[in-house]
Amino acid sequence: MQLLKVDTLEQAREKLLQAVGDDWLTVCEVPLREARERVLAEDLYGIRDIPEFRRSMVDGYALQAKDTMGAGESIPVFLEVIEDVMIGTETTSVIRPGTCAYVPTGGMLPEGADSCVMVEYCEQFDASHIAVSQSVSPGRHAVEIGEDSKKGDLLFRRGQRLRPQEIGVLAAEGLTHVKVYAPLKIYVISTGDELTAPGEELKRGKIYDINTLALTALAEKHGFLVSGTRTVPDVYEELKEAITEARKISDLVVISGGSSKGKKDMTALLIDELSDPGVFTHGLALKPGKPTILGMDKKSHTLMVGLPGHPVAAMAVFEMLPVWLKRQQEGESEKLAVPAVLDGNVPGTPGRKMLLYVELKKNQEGYLASPVFGKSGLMSTMTRADGYAVVDLNQEGLKAGDQIWVQIF
């Protein structure tokens, strides 16, 4: 293992892709009821025309548009009503010139009808006739067969995150289940003799464990399934046992703390010992996030990620590497960012990418982004921020007025 062989973000990502290969993810079938926010694991094609029959979009009368030519409030057109179509039933009539049929919203249009007039423009004239006071063009208030989507159409690509509307389309097709990626199982380990579980008495010199809960929340936000969490002191054998147990039930083990160049630097040694062919990234050219360690255990197919101990840095690296990797593997498109104009200068940090935390203020044209400065370990930097921009800082840094793209938390 080479110590602190610092990778750029791009190098680390490239190595991650190679390390996990193409069989890290598994596919499962879930009921539509539970498919929200899951990511489609296959291209999905329409299995029927939607709609399968011509439907009315309004409560009204199905007719032939040419019959209404010239009709208006003062010169109505009189048509014979030959059917009262019930919703959910097949029509029996055929509309010919001079005739029409009542059709409720969503009801089937009878053969021969090419459009509908809303009831608001129709008046009962006698027992079998109505007066129509509006002229419509063909197709008006009617939905054609397959107008929403056609049998055989590509509905959604692999990688599509299922929003409520996609669930709706799958329901419209009559599907009850859908193939999505099984959530990656992640185990969250926090190391440090100073860590105390929230709720316990805090001894002088110790702090409450932030990373276990914050990383668990962040992982779940991004669709990981947390297979377990554990807080361990800086004891080699204990940490080794924790990682060994964790990888039995996980696709990914993250270990935060213990990754800087200090006296108790065990995470790197352990990831190296427990992975084959060993640590492939030790150090990341990212601010915050330098003390990052990556290794892959080919045998158990478990990715091991050593994260910085500082919560803000740990969360930054988690978003930039494991979350990025998951989206890449699942084929999800890039997350939408918000354009904003910097309202202050940002000094340069040559050679390193930086996560710039910003507060957004809306104005008429868009957003102003105020950098939230603060020492990198401070949680308040992140709670005050609406999001972050990943910026490449050259010698000069960024200036007020520069545009950045902000990822919203």
CA dihedral 297, 300, 301, 306 (to 10 degrees): -40
Question: Which residue, chain included where needed, has tokens 């694991």?
Answer: 41
Measured between alpha carbons, how far is 225 from 406 in angstroms, rounded to an integer? 27
Measured between alpha carbons, how far is 45 from 157 in angstroms, rounded to an integer? 9
Q: Which is nearer to a second copy, 70 or 174 (CB)?
A: 174
Residue 221 beta carbon to a second copy: minimum distance, rounded to whole angstroms:
6
Q: What is the DSSP annotation of 23-92? A: -S--EEEEEGGG-TT-BBSS-EE-SS-BSSS-EESSSEEEE-GGGGTT--SSS-EEEEEEEEPPTTS---
The three-class DSSP label of residue 340 is strand
Q: Which is nearer to a second copy, 149 or 275 (CB)?
A: 149
Residue 131 beta carbon to a second copy: minimum distance, rounded to whole angstroms:
18
Q: Which is nearer to a second copy, 58 or 303 (CB)?
A: 58
Q: Which is nearer to a second copy, 76 or 257 (CB)?
A: 257
Q: Which is nearer to a second copy, 35 or 294 (CB)?
A: 35
> In 3D, which of 381, 268, 403, 397 has the Cα closest to residue 316?
381
Residue 44 beta carbon to a second copy: minimum distance, rounded to whole angstroms:
11
Q: Which is nearer to a second copy, 218 or 321 (CB)?
A: 218
Measured between alpha carbons, how far is 265 from 4 in angstroms, rounded to an integer? 12
Residue 175 beta carbon to a second copy: minimum distance, rounded to whole angstroms:
6
Measured between alpha carbons, how far is 180 from 160 in angstroms, rounded to an integer? 9
Are residues 83 and 92 in contact, defined by beta-carbon separation less than 8 angstroms? yes
Which residues are 81's β-sheet partners? 100
Residue 214 beta carbon to a second copy: minimum distance, rounded to whole angstroms:
3
Residue 304 beta carbon to a second copy: minimum distance, rounded to whole angstroms:
21
